[in-house]
C-alpha cells in the first residue's frame, strides 16, 4: 500500500492488521479525523490491499439522512457479501445463520421474536461472517460511523466481541471532531469500541504532502504558494483539491475560514457558467447524498434539458458524480453546505414536493418517505404526515429494526401532540399501542409497560383497552401480584366481541390463572373457551395462543396424552404457517410430555427441537437446547459429560441474560451430585446456589431423605406442600417424589398412604422436575421404595421390576441400576447380566452380541463406537470423538503468550500435511498410523489455541467440525466393515444403529445392555 500521500504511518499499521488477518485473527481498525481528511481514501486502500491478498471485502456506509433504514450499513455489507462470495461459501453461511438473517437481506421477517430479535440478528450476522471466513478472510469496511444508528453500532460491538479470534477484520471511519459533543447520539456506543480497536487518527498533510498533492492535480507551485495553501486548508486533502480547482485561490487573497468558503466560491463559479445548476443542486441536497435525476425535474421545477445541463455542469465542476443512472455528491461537505444555505421554509417546501414525487415511484422506501414527510411540516399538515410515519414504523418492524420503528412512532406522537384533532384520539392510541410493542422488541421493557398501561387507563374503545391489556400481560410484572393481572384481563373481557381478539384475551386470562395458581377450574374453562372462539374465528395466530393456554392449563402429572394431542395440532398449525419459533416450542413441550410417559420418542422430539433451533437461532431456544442436553446426559447416566453440559448451559444462559439459568444450574448440579452419591455437595448446592429461592427447601429435604436424615426431610414437608400449592401445577411431580422419598425414609404408614394416593394414578409415568431440569426416575420406582419401607414385598417387587424395564426402555442407566439394587436387597432374583459385551483389554477388544463372541485388535473406530454405546440415544459431537474425552480443554479467562507469525505459518503448513497423511492412512486401513498422526495434529491445534489465548476454543470451528466429521465417519465405517468378516451379527446391528456426521449417536431400536 503506497498510493496515498503522507500516510506512511497509517499504511504501515494497516499492513500489520492485514498480516494478522492472514494469520487467522481479525480485530477492529478505526480511522478518525475531520471531514475531508482522507479517511475514506485510506479505507479504500486497505480494502484493495486485502483483495490482493485474497480476502473478501464487503463495504457499507452510514448516512445522516434521516429516515435511512435501521442497520443500513450492515444491509449493504451482507448484500455485497452475497454477491462476491462463491455459491458454496454463501450457502454454507446462510444455512449456519438460519432464518434470522432475513432482515439484513432486505426481507421482512415473519417471526415475532420480541426482545430476542436483535440478538438473533447479531448472532446471525456474526455466524455468516465467521462461516465464510473459515474459507477466506473477510474485511468489513464501514464508512462514517459518526452517522450510524444505535442498532448498527450495537451490531459492530457484538461482532468485534464474538469474532475477535476469527479472520474477520472490521475497518471503520468516523469524524472524531463531531464526537467531541457530549450529546452526539453515536458517542455512547462508539467510544467504548475505541478500547478494543487499533486507532488511526489522520491529520492534515505537511508542506511536502500538500505540494505533492497539488502537483498531482496539475498545479506546480513555489514554496510560498504551497505555504499559503497549507495555511488556508490546514493540509486537509479535500480542501486542498477543491482549492486547486479555483483560479486565483492559490496565489492571492487572505486566508479563508475553511471549506465552506471554498465550496461557496465553487458554487459562484458554477452559477456563472450554468445559472440553473445551483437551484438543481439545492433540490438534490434536500433529496440526499445520492439522488435520482428524474426526481429533480418536478421538485426543482425544471425541464429535462435544464436538469441535464445543470448536472453536466456540476459534474464538470467535480461537485457530483454519476453512477448507474443515479447521481451523488462528491462529498457530504458539499451537500451539507447546500442544504444549510437554504431558508427553512424553502427546505420544507422542497421536502413536501419530494413526498409527492416519491410516493408514486416504485422502490421508494417507507423510511425515505417518512424522512421527507416529517421534515416537510408545516408545509405538509400533520394529518398527512402521521400515516406516512406509521407506515414506515411498520416497515421497520417487519425488518426487525425496532429502534427505527420507535423513532418513527415517537415522531408521529410528537406531531399528534401539536394538533390533537388532526387524526383523532383512536389514531393516537393505535400509535401508542404499536410503540409499546416496538419498545418491547427494542429491549425497553419498562417503557413498553408504561406505554401500554397508559393506553389501558386512557382508551375509550373496548378493543383498544383489550389490546393494551394483552400487551401488559405479555410484558408481565415480576414484582406485582398475580391477582392484579387477572383482574385487569377480567375487566376488559366482557366488552370484547367474539373473534380473534376475544380468543387471545380468554387465553391470556387462562394463562394468568394457571401460572399464578389461582382458580384452576376457571383457568381450564377459559382455555377451553379460547380454543372454541379461535377455531370459530379461523385466525391461526389466535388459535396458536389458545392451544398454548389450553396446554399450560392441563400441564400436570398424568396429562401427557392430552397435551400431546394439543401439541400435535399446534405443531401442524405452526408448520402450515412457517412459524418455526412456535413449531420449535411445540417440539420442546412434546419432548417433556414424552419424557413424562417414559417414551424413547422423547429423544426424537428433542432432536427436532434442536434442528429447528439451529435454524431460528432464538437465544431462549438455544438455552433450552443446551440445558436439556444436560438433562438427557443426567438421565442416561453420562455424568462426566453432564457435568460439562450443566456448566456450559449456565454460561450460555448468563450470556443471553436468561432469568432461569441460575435455578436451572442449581437443579442440575444438585441432580449430578445426588446421582454420584455426594450428598454433602448436593446439599451445599441446594442451599447456596440461589440464596433465598423458594425451591431450595425442596432440594434440601430430598437430599436429607436420600442421606438417611428422615427427621430433617419430614420437617420440611409442610413448607414443601405450601410451596407446591402456590405454583404452576407442573411442579407437582416434585410433590409426588417428595412424599414418596419421605414415606420411604420414615416408614410412616400414614405418609405411605398419602404417597400412594399421589403416585398410583401416575405410576406408569416419570417425574420430570421443573420443566425438564432433571428427570427424577420412574414413579414405579418411588412406589416400590414406599412398598419396601412398609413391608409390602410383592407390590415392591412388581413396582421395582416395572421400574427396571421402564428405565431400560428409556436408556436411563442410573434409574435402572437403582431399581436393580433395590430388587437385589429384597433377594428378588439375580441382577440382570449384560446381553452384550464391548470391552477392551490393552490392544484387544472382546465383542459379544447375539450369542457370538469375537476378539479383534484395537482401532480408533472401535473406541468411537464404545463411546457411543455408553450413551445410547445421545448426540456426541464428532469433535469430541476425534480428540477423546481426555483431550477436552478446560475453559480459561486469560491468554498465554503469542508465538511469532513464522512459527504460526509453520504450524499451519504441518497441519495441512497431516490432514493429507491421515486421510491416506485411513484409506489404507492403517488405523494405528492414523491415530498417531491424529494425536500429533491435536497437539499442534492445542498449541495454536494456547498461543492465541482462546481458552480452549477452536479458531476455525467450522474447519475442525468438518474434519472431525470426515475422520470419525471414516474410521467408524472402516471398523464396522472389518467386523463383517468376524462378527456379521454385530456389524449389521452397528451399521443400523450407529449414526455419523458432525454429531454421532447410537440409536438402537431395542435397548441393549452392554458390558464395557
CATH classification at residue 758: 1.25.40.10
For residue 450, tell me if it sits in a domain. Answer: no
The answer to whether position 299 is within a domain reads yes
C-alpha cell at 781: 420406582
Instruction: Give the domain-ending residue among 828, 852, 879.
Output: 828
CB-based contact 252:229 (threshold 8 Å): no
Query: Do 740 and 776 contact (CB within 8 A), yes or no?
Result: no
Cell numbers standing for residue 105: 437481506
Could you tell me if 768 and 592 are in contact, meaning their C-beta atoms sit under 8 angstroms apart? yes
Residues 533 and 671 in one domain: no
Let me know whether 512 and 629 are in one domain.
no
Residue 318 belongs to what domain range? 258-342
Which candidate, 669, 721, 713, places its Cα nearest to that of 694?
A: 721
985 and 855 share a domain? yes
Among 946, 936, 932, smallest CA distance to 889 is for: 946
**Separation of CA 773 from chain center:** 22
Residue partners of 582: CB distance under 8 A and separation at least 6: 544, 570, 573, 574
SS3 803: helix
Does residue 867 sit in helix, strand or coil?
helix
Cell digits for 266?
465553487
- Give the C-alpha separation, 232 to 240, whole Å: 9
- Structural domain contains residue 3: no
Which residues face 775 on adjacent strands?
Answer: 768
Helix (H) or strand (E) holding 216: helix 207-216
Contact 287, 364 (CB under 8 A): no
- What is the tally of helices (H) and strands (E) in the chain? 48, 17
Structurally, how many domains does the chain consist of?
Answer: 7
**Are both 328 and 212 inside the same structural domain?**
no
CA 913 to chain centre: 36
Q: What is the pLDDT, as a whole number, of residue 958?
A: 41
Please check whether residues 885 and 910 belong to one and the same domain: no
Q: What are phi and psi of 951, to 5 degrees?
A: 60, 35
Dist CA 694 CA 457 (whole Å): 34
Please say which residue of 321, 342, 363 terminates a domain: 342
Residue 955 φ then ψ, to 5°: -70, -45
Whether 638 maps to a domain, the answer reads: yes
- Tell me the longest C-alpha to C-alpha distance in the chain: 114
The answer to whether residue 411 sits within a structural domain is no
Bridge partners of 139?
57, 169
Cα(497)–Cα(118) distance, integer angstroms: 35
Q: Confirm whether 531 is domain-assigned.
A: yes
Q: Do the domain assignments include residue 356?
A: no
- pLDDT tens digits, residue range 364-374? 889 889 999 99
Q: Report the alpha-carbon distance of residue 538 to residue 531 in Å, rounded.
A: 11
Q: Kindly give the pairing relationship between strand 290-291 and strand 326-329.
A: antiparallel
> Which of the listed residues 782, 806, 828 is the one where a domain comes to its end?
828
DSSP one-letter string for 846-864: EEEETTEEEEEE--HHHHH
Ranges of the chain whose pLDDT falls below 70? 1-2, 65-67, 106-117, 180-183, 232, 245-260, 262, 420-424, 477-483, 829-835, 884-960
Which helix (H) or strand (E) element contains residue 548? helix 540-554
Both 187 and 215 in a single domain?
no
Q: Are residues 844 and 872 in the same domain?
A: yes
Tell whether 305 is covered by a domain.
yes
Q: How far apart are CA 271 and CA 265, in angstroms?
A: 10
To 5 degrees, how large is the angle CA 160–CA 164–CA 168? 85
Residue with cell 431462549: 620
* Helix residue ranges, H only, 578-709: 580-596, 601-616, 619-636, 639-656, 661-675, 679-688, 696-706
- 3-state DSSP: the chain helix, strand, coil percent, rounded to 5? 65, 10, 25
Q: Kindly report the CA angle at 37 between 31 and 43, in degrees rounded to 5?
A: 40
Grid-cell match 447520539, residue found: 185
Listed residue (637, 586, 593, 601) closest to 762, CA to CA: 593
pLDDT at 948: 43
Task: Using a cut of 0.85, tell me whether the model's pTM lies above it.
Answer: no
Are the C-beta atoms of 567 and 98 separated by less than 8 Å?
A: no
Does residue 378 have a cis bond before it (omega within 30 degrees)? yes
Under 8 Å between Cβ of 348 and 378: yes
Predicted confidence (pLDDT) per residue in 415-467, tens digit: 998 876 655 678 888 999 999 988 887 777 788 888 998 988 888 889 999 99
Q: Is 429 exposed, middle or buried (0-12, 13-18, 19+ CB in 10 A)?
A: buried
Q: In what helix (H) or strand (E) does residue 573 lie, and over which residues does it extend?
A: helix 560-577
C-alpha closest to that of 706 among 630, 759, 777 = 777
- Do 46 and 179 share a structural domain? yes
Could you tell me if 241 and 293 lie in one domain? no
Nearest to 134 by CA among 882, 963, 904: 963
- Kind and range of the H or E run holding 837: strand 836-841
Whether 159 and 21 share a structural domain: yes
Residue of 213, 235, 217, 202 whose CA lies nearest to 7: 202
Rounded to the nearest 10 degrees, how much is the dihedral formed by the CA atoms of 665, 670, 673, 678? 140
Pairwise CA distance, residues 129 & 141, whole Å: 13
Q: Could you tell me if 243 and 147 lie in one domain?
A: no
Q: Under 8 Å CB-to-CB from 953, ≥6 apart: which residues?
A: 165, 945
Contact criterion met (CB below 8 Å) for 628 and 591: yes
Q: Beta 774-778 vs 999-1002: how paired, if at all?
A: unpaired
Q: Among candidates 174, 102, 172, 165, which has minimal Cα distance to 137?
A: 165
Q: So what's the pLDDT on residue 943?
A: 59
304-to-298, 325, 525 alpha-carbon distances in Å: 10, 14, 70
Q: ∠685-689-694 over CA atoms, to 5°?
A: 100
The grid coordinates listed for 558 are 398424568
pLDDT at residue 750, as a whole number: 94
Do residues 174 and 145 touch, judged by C-beta distance below 8 A? yes
Q: Which residues contact 100 (CB under 8 A, 6 or more apart)?
A: 109, 111, 120, 121, 123, 124, 616, 617
Rg (alpha carbons) of the chain, rounded to whole number: 34
Q: Cell match 416537510: residue?
A: 376
Q: What is the distance between the alpha carbons of residues 374 and 363, in angstroms, rounded to a whole number? A: 20
The alpha carbon of residue 193 and the mean position of all alpha carbons in its chain are separated, in whole angstroms, by: 21
CATH number at residue 334: 1.10.10
Q: Are residues 792 and 932 in the same domain?
A: no
Q: How far apart are CA 469 and CA 485, in angstroms?
A: 9
The β-bridge relationship of strands 138-143 and 774-778 is unpaired
Decide if 610 contacts 998 (C-beta within 8 A). Answer: no
Amino acid at each position: 500500500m503506497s498510493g496515498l500521500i503522507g500516510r506512511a504511518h497509517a499504511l504501515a499499521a494497516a499492513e500489520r492488521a492485514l498480516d494478522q488477518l492472514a494469520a487467522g485473527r481479525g480485530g477492529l481498525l478505526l480511522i478518525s479525523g475531520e471531514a475531508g481528511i482522507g479517511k475514506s481514501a485510506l479505507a479504500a486502500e486497505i480494502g484493495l490491499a486485502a483483495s490482493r491478498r485474497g480476502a473478501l471485502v464487503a463495504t457499507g456506509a452510514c448516512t445522516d439522512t434521516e429516515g435511512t433504514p435501521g442497520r443500513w450499513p450492515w444491509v449493504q455489507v451482507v448484500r455485497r457479501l452475497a454477491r462476491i462470495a462463491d455459491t458454496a461459501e454463501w450457502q454454507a453461511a446462510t444455512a449456519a445463520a438460519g432464518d434470522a438473517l432475513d432482515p439484513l437481506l432486505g426481507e421482512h421477517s415473519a417471526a415475532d421474536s420480541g426482545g430476542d430479535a436483535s440478538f438473533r440478528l447479531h448472532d446471525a450476522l456474526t455466524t455468516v461472517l465467521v462461516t465464510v471466513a473459515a474459507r477466506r478472510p473477510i474485511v468489513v469496511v464501514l464508512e462514517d460511523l459518526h452517522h450510524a444508528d444505535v442498532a448498527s453500532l450495537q451490531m459492530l460491538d457484538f461482532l468485534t466481541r464474538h469474532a475477535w479470534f476469527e479472520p474477520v477484520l472490521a475497518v471503520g471511519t468516523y469524524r472524531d471532531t463531531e464526537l467531541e459533543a457530549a450529546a452526539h447520539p453515536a458517542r455512547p456506543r462508539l467510544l467504548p469500541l475505541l478500547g478494543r480497536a487499533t486507532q488511526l487518527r489522520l491529520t492534515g498533510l505537511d508542506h511536502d504532502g500538500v505540494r505533492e498533492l497539488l502537483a498531482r492535480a496539475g498545479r506546480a507551485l513555489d514554496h510560498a504558494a504551497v505555504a499559503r495553501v497549507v495555511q488556508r486548508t490546514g493540509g486537509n486533502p479535500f480542501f486542498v483539491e477543491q482549492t486547486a480547482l479555483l483560479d486565483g485561490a492559490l496565489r492571492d487573497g487572505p486566508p479563508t475560514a475553511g471549506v465552506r468558503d471554498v465550496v461557496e466560491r465553487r458554487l459562484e463559479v458554477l452559477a456563472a457558467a450554468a445559472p440553473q445548476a445551483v437551484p438543481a443542486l439545492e433540490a438534490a441536497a434536500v433529496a440526499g447524498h445520492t439522488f435520482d435525476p428524474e426526481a429533480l425535474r418536478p421538485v426543482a421545477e425544471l425541464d429535462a434539458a435544464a436538469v441535464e445541463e445543470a448536472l453536466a455542469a456540476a459534474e464538470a465542476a467535480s461537485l457530483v458524480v454519476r453512477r448507474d443512472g443515479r447521481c451523488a455528491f462528491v462529498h457530504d461537505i458539499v451537500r451539507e453546505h447546500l442544504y444549510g444555505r437554504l431558508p427553512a421554509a424553502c427546505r420544507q417546501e422542497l421536502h413536501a414536493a419530494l413526498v409527492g414525487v416519491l410516493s408514486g415511484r416504485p422502490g421508494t422506501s417507507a423510511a425515505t418517505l417518512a424522512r421527507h414527510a416529517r421534515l416537510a411540516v408545516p408545509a405538509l399538515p400533520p394529518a398527512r404526515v402521521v400515516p406516512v410515519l406509521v407506515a414506515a414504523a411498520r416497515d421497520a418492524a417487519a425488518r426487525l429494526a425496532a429502534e427505527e420503528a420507535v423513532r418513527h412512532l415517537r415522531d408521529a406522537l410528537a406531531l399528534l401532540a401539536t394538533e390533537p384533532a388532526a387524526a383523532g384520539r383512536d389514531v393516537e392510541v393505535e400509535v401508542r399501542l404499536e410503540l409499546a410493542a416496538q419498545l418491547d422488541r427494542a429491549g425497553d421493557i419498562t417503557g413498553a409497560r408504561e406505554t401500554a398501561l397508559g393506553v389501558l387507563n386512557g382508551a375509550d374503545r373496548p378493543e383498544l383497552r383489550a389490546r393494551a391489556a394483552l400487551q401488559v400481560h405479555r410484558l408481565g410484572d415480576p414484582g406485582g401480584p398475580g391477582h392484579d393481572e387477572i383482574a385487569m384481563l377480567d375487566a376488559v373481557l366482557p366488552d370484547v366481541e367474539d373473534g380473534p381478539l376475544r380468543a387471545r384475551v380468554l387465553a391470556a386470562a387462562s394463562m394468568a390463572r394457571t401460572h399464578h395458581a389461582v382458580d384452576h377450574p376457571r383457568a381450564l374453562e377459559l382455555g377451553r373457551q379460547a380454543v372454541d372462539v379461535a377455531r370459530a374465528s379461523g385466525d391461526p395466530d389466535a388459535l396458536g395462543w389458545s392451544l398454548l393456554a389450553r396446554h399450560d392449563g392441563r400441564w400436570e402429572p398424568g396429562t401427557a396424552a392430552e397435551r400431546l394431542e394439543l401439541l400435535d395440532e399446534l405443531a401442524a398449525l405452526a408448520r402450515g404457517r412457517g412459524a418455526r419459533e412456535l413449531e420449535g416450542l411445540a417440539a420442546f413441550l412434546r419432548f417433556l410430555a414424552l419424557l413424562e410417559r417414559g417414551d424413547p420418542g422423547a429423544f426424537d422430539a428433542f432432536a427436532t427441537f434442536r434442528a429447528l433451533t439451529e435454524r431460528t437461532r432464538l437465544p431462549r431456544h438455544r438455552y433450552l437446547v443446551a440445558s436439556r442436553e444436560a438433562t438427557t446426559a443426567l438421565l442416561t447416566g453420562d455424568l462426566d459429560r453432564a457435568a460439562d453440559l450443566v456448566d456450559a448451559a449456565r454460561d450460555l444462559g448468563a450470556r443471553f441474560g436468561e432469568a432461569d439459568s441460575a435455578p436451572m444450574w442449581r437443579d442440575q448440579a444438585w441432580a449430578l451430585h445426588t446421582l454420584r452419591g455426594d450428598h454433602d455437595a448436593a446439599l451445599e448446592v441446594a442451599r447456596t446456589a440461589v440464596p433465598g429461592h423458594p425451591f431450595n427447601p425442596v432440594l434440601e429435604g430430598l437430599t436429607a431423605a436420600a442421606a438417611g436424615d428422615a427427621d430433617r426431610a419430614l420437617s420440611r414437608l409442610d413448607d414443601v406442600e405450601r410451596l407446591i400449592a402456590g405454583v404452576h401445577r407442573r411442579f407437582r411431580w416434585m410433590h409426588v417424589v417428595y412424599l414418596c422419598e419421605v414415606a420411604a425414609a420414615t416408614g410412616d404408614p400414614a405418609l405411605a398412604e398419602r404417597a400412594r394416593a399421589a403416585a398410583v394414578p401416575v405410576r406408569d409415568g416419570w417425574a420430570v422436575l421443573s420443566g425438564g431440569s432433571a428427570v427424577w426416575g420412574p414413579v414405579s420406582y418411588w412406589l416400590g421404595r414406599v412398598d419396601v419401607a412398609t413391608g409390602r414385598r410383592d407390590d415392591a417387587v412388581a413396582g421395582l421390576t416395572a421400574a427396571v424395564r421402564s428405565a431400560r426402555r428409556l436408556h436411563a442407566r442410573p434409574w435402572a441400576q437403582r431399581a436393580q439394587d433395590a430388587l437385589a436387597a429384597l433377594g428378588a432374583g439375580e441382577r440382570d447380566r449384560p446381553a452384550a459385551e464391548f470391552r477392551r483389554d490393552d490392544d484387544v477388544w472382546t465383542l459379544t452380541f447375539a450369542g457370538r463372541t469375537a476378539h479383534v485388535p484395537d482401532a480408533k473406530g472401535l473406541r468411537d463406537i464404545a463411546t457411543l454405546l455408553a450413551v445410547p440415544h445421545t448426540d456426541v459431537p464428532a469433535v469430541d470423538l476425534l480428540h477423546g474425552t481426555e483431550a477436552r480443554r478446560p475453559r480459561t479467562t486469560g491468554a498465554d503468550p503469542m508465538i511469532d507469525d513464522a512459527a504460526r505459518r509453520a504450524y499451519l503448513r504441518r497441519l495441512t500435511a497431516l490432514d493429507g497423511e491421515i486421510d491416506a492412512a485411513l484409506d489404507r486401513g492403517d488405523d494405528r498410523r492414523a491415530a498417531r498422526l491424529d494425536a500429533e495434529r491435536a497437539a499442534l491445534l492445542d498449541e495454536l489455541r494456547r498461543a492465541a489465548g482462546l481458552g480452549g476454543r477452536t479458531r476455525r470451528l467450522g474447519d475442525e467440525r468438518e474434519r472431525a466429521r470426515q475422520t470419525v465417519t471414516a474410521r467408524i465405517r472402516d471398523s464396522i466393515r472389518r467386523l463383517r468378516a468376524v462378527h456379521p451379527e454385530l456389524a449389521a446391528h452397528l451399521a443400523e444403529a450407529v449414526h455419523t456426521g458432525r454429531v454421532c449417536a447410537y440409536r438402537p431400536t431395542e435397548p441393549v445392555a452392554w458390558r464395557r
